[in-house]
Amino acid sequence: MTTQHTTWFKAAPISAFPENGGACVKYNDRQIAVFHFKQLDKWYATDNECPHKHQMILSRGMLGDQQGHPKVACPFHKKTFSLETGLNLQGEDYCINVYPVKVEDGFVFIGV
C-alpha cells in the first residue's frame, strides 16, 4: 500500500482512446502511453518510450496477454512489457515505468 499522495492529471475523454489499443498523452515535457484494455475492462499507463532503442512509440504498440498477464508489444522489435509491472517479458534487462489510471465522469486521469 502506498501512503504517498497521488497527483491526478486529467488527460482526455474516454472516447479519445481506441478500445483494446493505446494513445499517447502529453504531460508537460513527458509522453505517457495510455491503454484501454477493454477485454479486461482495465486501463493502463506506461512510459511512451521503449527503452530498447529509446523510441517514443509504445502507445502505438499492440495489446495482448501472456498466460493471462496483460502486456504491450513495441511496434519496432516486438519487445513485450508487462502492463502491470513494466518488466520486459522476454527476460531482457530493461523495463518501463507504469502509472496508475482512473476514469471519472467520462475522463481519463493519470497518476503522475
Partner 1 sequence: MAQPQKVVVVGNGMVGYKFCEKLLNKAGGGSFSITVIGEEPRPAYDRVHLSAYFSGTSVDELTMAPASWYAENGIQLLTGECVLHIHPEAHYVMTHTGRKIEYDKLILATGSSAFVPPVPGVEKEGVFVYRTIEDLDAIISYAQGAGRAAVIGGGLLGLEAAKATLDLGLETHVIEFAPRLMPRQLDAAGAGMLKRKMEALGIQIHLNKNTAHFEGESNVKGLAFVDNTSLEVDMVVVSAGIRPRDELAKQAGLGVGPRGGIMVNDELQTTDSDIYAIGECALHKGMIYGLVAPGYEMAEVVANNLTLSIAKKGDVKSFNAFDMSTKLKLIGVDVASFGEPFCEHTPHDTIVVEDKLKGIYKRLNVTTDGKHLLGGILVGEADNYNMLLQMVKNQLILPPNPEDLVMPVRKGESAGAGMGVASLPDDASICSCENITKGTICEAIEGQNLGDVAAIKKCTKAGTGCGGCVPMLSDLLTETLKKQGKTVKKVLCEHFDYSRQEMYHLIKMSGTRTFDEVLKKHGKGCGCEVCKPAVASMLASIYNDVIAKQAVIQDTNDRYLANIQRGGTYSVVPRVPGGEITADQLIALGTVAKKYDLYCKITGGQRVDLFGARVEQLPFIWEELIDVGFESGHAYGKALRTVKSCVGNTWCRFGVQDAVGYAVRIENRYKGIRAPHKLKSAVSGCTRECAEAQSKDFGIIATEKGWNLYLCGNGGIKPQHAVLFASDLDDDTCIKYIDRFLMFYIKTAEPLQRTATWFNKLEGGLEYLRDVIINDSLGICAELEKEMEYLIETYHDEWRVAVETPEIRARFTHFVNSEEADPTLEFIEMRGQKRPSDW
In the chain the beta strands, taken as DSSP E runs, fall at: 8-13, 21-27, 30-37, 42-47, 49-50, 55-56, 62-66, 69-73, 80-82, 98-99, 101-104, 107-111
Of residues 6 through 35, those in contact with partner 1 by CB under 8 A are 11-12, 16-21, 23-26, 29, 31, 34
- Least distance from partner 1 to the Cβ atom of residue 104, Å: 16
Of residues 52 through 71, those in contact with partner 1 by CB under 8 A are 53-57, 60-68, 70-71
Residue 3 or residue 9: which is nearer to partner 1 going by CB? 9
